[in-house]
Amino acid sequence: MEEVFQDIIIKHSDDYIINMGPQHPSTHGVLRFELCLLGETVKYIIPHCGYIHRGIEKMCEKNTYQQIIHLTDRFDYLSAHMNNEAVCLAVENALEVEVPERVKYIRTILAELNRIASHQLWWCAFGMDLGALTTFFYGLRDREYILDIFEESFGSRLLHSFNYPGGLMHDLHPNFQQKVKDFIKYFRKKLPEYDQLLTGNIIFQQRSIGMGYMSKEDAISYGVTGPSGRGSGFKCDVRKHHPYSAYSKVDFKEILYTEGDTFARYKARIDEMWESMNIIEQLIDNIPAGDYTAKMKPIIKLPVGDYFQRVETARGELGCYIVSDGNKNPLRVKFRTPNFSNLFIINKIASGNKIADLVAISGSLDLVIPDIDR
């Protein structure tokens, strides 16, 4: 019990309080940190969220199960495909529908492509937070290749509501396989550039190694998942431990770093890009032929009960909990979003550091603000 109460912040009337955000370039959205400063050192940090709350969970209660899908794009917009997949899998499990093998393979490939695109943008923004503007151009250059593949196959670059309960919206573009193979060939050559530009840089290393230490116990008790948690040695990869879609058929290793600092979280994400490329290469040639959707009724009514499905997004574990009363609308939908849990460890790992290091630490947690507030 004592450990829990260590985190309670005691405010004094003579604290020097300054606000970082809600419109601050390094918070990547509308997030406000209430900082108590002692000179340049941060004494404590209170995150205030809710500036971009749209009430998606409440909106889901008015919509049908097909209409929920496009709302889930809007919380973690950089891993839109995995968010869609969570709802689709929950609905399919509830109806006990067996989706075709082709759908499972395509979903896995798209999820991994989306993960690479998300980590590329994180790499751009993280370098920019630390003052390396060059990384922003090089990361976005490679991300454009993935977005072009997405645009050709399902019409939109970022918020692609491509999943549909029972399968996919429509079939893949005929060029898809060739373009993905070209991209993997291209990106295998370009990813070492990332290491040359930023990973080996002495300024970057001195600002990240040993900074913002998160222990494995902290990561577990705060529920920090994804590459942030795996940087502290917390084995939390849903793809590995609770496989869904085609993840049980591929051979990949869970990236684990035990250092727990900003640099370990950075390395975990860079290694995940390599691992995602391995997964795609194993699947891209073996997409089975068949239908792109299972036979579904036009109006989906889930049986009475509650259903839960979790997937691994680019930032951690996303849970989708649906309570149904037998109607065409859900009674209640709850999303356990990864960024909400990842945010609140910031006081524990960043207090005691300088403000400039707070920027580096919050950048290494890879926060997407609409995912926190939803």
Partner 1 sequence: MNIFKYFGEVFGAIRSLWAGMRVTGYYSIRPGKVVTQQYPENRKKLVIADRFKGEVIMKHDSNNQHTCNGCGICELNCPNGSIEIISNKITNAEGKSERIIDKHIYHLSMCTFCSLCIKTCPSNSITWGQDFEHAMFDRNKLTKVLNQPGSSIRKEIKEVKETKEA
Write the DSSP string, 147-186. HHHHHHHHS-SS----EETTEESSPPPTTHHHHHHHHHHH
Beta strands in 175-301 (DSSP E): none
The one-letter code for the residue type at 122 is: W
- Residue 16 backbone dihedrals phi, psi, to 5 degrees: -95, 105
Give which of 278, 234, 282 is closest to 258, Cα–Cα.
234
Piece of the chain touching partner 1 by CB under 8 A; list 189-197, 233-241, 253-261, 327-335: 189-197
Q: Rank residues 348 and 374 by Cβ distance to partner 1 and give the closer one.
A: 374
Q: Does residue 97 touch partner 1 according to CB under 8 A?
A: no
In this chain, which stretch among 27-35, 99-107, 193-201, 237-245 interacts with partner 1, using CB under 8 A?
Answer: 193-201
Is residue 11 near partner 1 by the rule CB under 8 A? no
Question: What residue ranges in the chain does DSSP mark as E strands?
Answer: 16-20, 32-38, 41-48, 163-164, 167-168, 305-313, 316-324, 332-336
- Under the binding rule (CB under 8 A), the answer on residue 201 touching partner 1 is yes
Residue 283 CA to residue 145 CA, distance in Å, equals 19
Q: How do 332-336 and 316-324 pair as beta strands?
A: antiparallel
What three-state secondary structure class fits 29?
A: strand
For the bound state, the minimum distance from the C-beta of residue 144 to partner 1, rounded and expressed in Å, comes to: 7
Residue 374 C-beta: closest distance to partner 1, Å? 15
Q: Give the interface size with partner 1 as a residue count (CB under 8 A).
A: 33
Q: Which of 148, 144, 164, 165 lies closest to 156 in space, CA to CA?
A: 148
Interface segment toward partner 1; rule CB under 8 A; list 41-49, 69-77, 310-318, 348-356: 69-77
Member of 26, 83, 118, 161 binding partner 1 (CB under 8 A) = 161
> What is the footprint of partner 1 within residues 99-158 (CB under 8 A)?
134, 138, 141, 144, 148, 151-156
What single DSSP character describes residue 198?
I
Asked if 178 touches partner 1 (CB under 8 A), the answer is: no
On the question of a cis peptide bond just before residue 47, with omega within 30 degrees of 0, the verdict is no
Taking contact as CB under 8 A, which single stretch among the options 178-186, 190-198, 241-249, 314-322 is the one that binds partner 1? 190-198
Pairing of strands 41-48, 32-38: antiparallel
Query: Minimum CB separation from partner 1 for residue 74, in Å?
Result: 8
Q: Is 71 in the site for partner 1 (CB under 8 A)?
A: yes
Please identify which residue in 196, 285, 289, 295 interacts with partner 1, judged by CB under 8 A. 196
If the CB atoms of residues 205 and 347 are measured against partner 1, the closer one turns out to be 205
Positive or negative CA dihedral for 72, 80, 129, 221? positive
Of 37, 46, 197, 220, the residue at the interface with partner 1 (CB under 8 A) is: 197
Cα–Cα dist 57/319, whole Å: 13
Smallest distance, partner 1 to C-beta of residue 205, A: 8
For residue 93, state whether it binds partner 1 (rule: CB under 8 A): no
- Of 39, 202, 289, 297, the residue at the interface with partner 1 (CB under 8 A) is 202
Q: Which of the residues 292 through 311 are near partner 1 (CB under 8 A)?
A: 298
* Interface positions with partner 1 (CB under 8 A): 63, 66-67, 69-71, 134, 138, 141, 144, 148, 151-156, 159, 161, 164, 169-170, 173, 193, 196-198, 200-203, 205, 298
